[in-house]
Amino acid sequence: MKKNIAVVTGAGSGLGEQLVYALHARDYFVVLVGRDPAKLDKVSKRLRDNFLNIAIDISIKENVDTIFREVMAIDGVLDTVVHCAGEGVFAKVGAFDDHDLERVFSANLYGTILISQGALNAFGDRGGTLVNVMSTAANVAKAGESIYCAAKWGAKGFTESLRLETKGSNIRILSVYPGGMDTPFWDEASDMMPDTSTFMDPKEVAEIIIDNLRNKPSLQVTELTINRR
Amino acid sequence: MKKNIAVVTGAGSGLGEQLVYALHARDYFVVLVGRDPAKLDKVSKRLRDNFLNIAIDISIKENVDTIFREVMAIDGVLDTVVHCAGEGVFAKVGAFDDHDLERVFSANLYGTILISQGALNAFGDRGGTLVNVMSTAANVAKAGESIYCAAKWGAKGFTESLRLETKGSNIRILSVYPGGMDTPFWDEASDMMPDTSTFMDPKEVAEIIIDNLRNKPSLQVTELTINRR
């Protein structure tokens, strides 16, 4: 029997890394997507087999086309695409420049749109599961996080519109809104590095997400908000 | 007494054009911002005096700096900035390319962030009124409008976060969500040109917005949704 394939973006660290392990443990062939090849190598060293690393920037359409071309060449069935890549840019409005905007919108917003579109086209009529991992910042406004909120609210508006477009099809979409996790995300996000030791363990968050991918006969989870206890 | 200055983006046509006339009629010195100099000329020909045209693309930080440098050189007091520029890109998810994304996010999202930031810095401690015109698409998901919704939800997430950051200051922020208007907006938005003859008159929408800029002693309008009867 052919293996089910799962694609994970942001696979080099944090929640993406943990999703890779969790999906691989459930017998998926896992495609690890991230910008830094060294990080992908480090993660996939723990897998031994049934994986493919693709080191690429997902904010450009041509690159996303490359990813799904490589995925379709694998001897397996594309079942699940988890878009987990994201980057925080935290500061008060006042000195944002073009580089800040490009940085905050690339993976968080452009990546969400392009990966979702690539997944949909690759799933075809057979269908599949798309998981868009956003943030609690997609649901509320936050002082000091205005452009990060912009990116996440945008990703949510896109995903909810896509849900309407795919209603009645075999495409399943799960939106995930996790609160702060104890991951390298915070290293580059802000000058004010928070104490992340009390934040959520990304391994636990990954387990919750995977658990909620199981379809029941009459229902599916469509939105999942996860906060620390 | 020095004139109050109002800056209007998207001033070359549609709602922006009508806001120019309405503000000028209320004795503002009006700065018209838009990409097409011919359109700005056509609008400002009806004003005779107390105006300045700036033909520029507002999705680039350097250009927005130029706008506010020119505004600060005017013999007047910057009172109101209305960000009205926007562009529709309507289609189902499937074939969006980098150009579509750049087009939909430039004025709708990058422009909202950069103009808001420029206005804030130019207002300084004295304060002023920022009006961000979005769309009803900022509040609901819409099939066939996924990337337009992404841009507008993003602009809303940004604006609401900025509202939290400016709480207690002299900055006043009005978010406007108009439904469909009978304007040239639709010409380039979609292959499926809707019948706009029953849509709202942008002149009426402009009047409603201006009416809601009047502060009362104990209150101000912070969000305004406008739909056709």
A144 at B interface, C-beta within 8 A: yes
B85: pLDDT strictly greater than 80: yes
Q: How far is B78 from chain A (nearest CA, A)?
A: 17
Tally the residues of chain B: 229
pLDDT for residue A204: 95
Structure token pair of residue B107: 């004025």
**Mean pLDDT across the stretch A143-165?**
97
B107 touches chain A (CB under 8 A): no
Residue B79, pLDDT score: 97
Q: CA-CA distance, A84 to A101, in Å (whole number)?
A: 19
Q: Is the CB of residue B160 less than 8 Å away from at least one CB of chain A?
A: yes
Contact criterion met (CB below 8 Å) for A189 and A89? yes
pLDDT class of A190 with cuts at 50, 70, 90: low
**Bridge-partner residues for A77, per DSSP?**
A4
Are A141 and B120 in contact (CB < 8 Å)? no
**B83 at A interface, C-beta within 8 A:** no
**B146·A162 Cβ contact <8 A:** yes
From residue A92, give the alpha-carbon distance in Å to each of A154, A202, B87, B128, B163.
Answer: 19, 27, 27, 18, 11
Give the mean model confidence (pLDDT) for residues A115-138: 97
- Max mean pLDDT range (A72-86, A189-203, A212-226): A72-86
Largest CA distance in chain A: 56
Q: Which of A208, A221, A211, A210 is nearest to A172 (CA)?
A: A221
Mean pLDDT of A159-183: 95
Residue A69 has pLDDT above 90, yes or no: yes
Which pLDDT score, from 0 to 100, does residue B92 have?
A: 95
DSSP-derived secondary structure for A95-109: S--HHHHHHHHIIII
Of B117, B150, B156, Cβ closest to residue A93: B117
Interface contact A94-B117, CB threshold 8 A: yes
Distance CA A43, CA A25 (A): 14
Q: Compute the half-sphere exposure of residue A166: CA atoms within 13 Å on the CB side of its CA.
A: 28
pLDDT at A187 over 80: no
Per-residue pLDDT at A211: 94
Q: Which residue has the tokens 């909810």?
A: A160
Per-residue pLDDT tens digits for B143-183: 999 999 999 999 999 999 999 999 999 999 999 999 988 88
Measure Cα distances from A30 to A12, A79, A205, B138, B157 in Å: 13, 10, 18, 36, 34
In chain A, residues with a C-beta closer than 8 Å to the C-beta of B62 are: 98
Q: Cβ contact (<8 Å) for A113 and B163?
A: no
Q: What is the pLDDT of residue B191?
A: 65
* CB contact A61 to B (< 8 Å): yes
Counting residues of chain B whose pLDDT is more than 70, the rounded percentage is: 98
Of residues B182 and A20, more confidence is placed in: A20
Say yes or no for a CB contact (<8 Å) between B151 and A152. no
Rounded CA-CA distance B82/B187 in Å is 23
* Residue A141 pLDDT: 97
Q: How far apart are CA A133 and CA A41, in angstroms?
A: 23
Q: What does the block give as tokens for B191? A: 């292959």
What ipTM did this prediction achieve? 0.91
pLDDT at B217: 80
pLDDT at B43: 98
Q: How far is CA A206 from the centre of its chain?
A: 11
> What pLDDT score was predicted for residue A31?
98
- Check residue A200 and report its DSSP letter: B
Alpha carbon distances (Å) from A54 to A33, A35, A73: 5, 8, 13
Cα distances from A97 to residues A146, B32, B46, B121, in angstroms, run 14, 23, 36, 14
Look at A103-107, A118-122, A184-188 and tell me which has the smallest mean pLDDT: A184-188
In one-letter notation, the amino acid at residue B216 is: K
CA–CA distances in Å: residue B70 to residues A41, A139, B109, B146, B194? 52, 37, 23, 36, 39
* Whole-structure pTM value: 0.94
The mean of the pLDDT values for chain A is 94
Q: Where are the beta strands (DSSP E) in chain B?
A: 3-9, 29-34, 51-55, 76-83, 128-133, 171-178, 223-226
Within a 13 Å sphere around the CA of A145, how many CA atoms are in the beta-carbon half?
A: 19
Cβ A122 vs Cβ A64: under 8 Å: no
Per-residue pLDDT band at B1 (split at 50, 70, 90)? confident
Which residue in the set A117, A153, A161 is minimally distant from B154, CB to CB?
A: A153
Find, among A68, A185, A178, the residue nearest to A132 by Cα: A178
Note whether B147 and A158 are within 8 A (CB): yes
Tell me the per-residue pLDDT of B182-203, one tens digit each, with 9 for 90 and over.
Answer: 888 877 666 667 788 888 999 9
As a whole number of angstroms, the distance between CA A12 and CA A181 comes to 15
Could you tell me if A169 and B191 are in contact, meaning their C-beta atoms sit under 8 angstroms apart? no
User: In angstroms, what CA-CA distances link A127 with A77, A78, A88, A171, A209?
Assistant: 11, 9, 32, 5, 19
Mean pLDDT, residues B113-140: 97
Across the interface, do B142 and A161 touch by the CB < 8 Å criterion? yes
Asked whether the beta carbons of A131 and A83 are under 8 A apart, the reply is yes
Shortest Cα–Cα distance, A147 to chain B (Å): 6
pLDDT at B186: 79
What angle, rounded to 10 degrees, do the helices at B146-165 and A112-123 form?
Answer: 150
How far is Cα B84 from Cα B190, in angstroms, rounded to an integer? 20
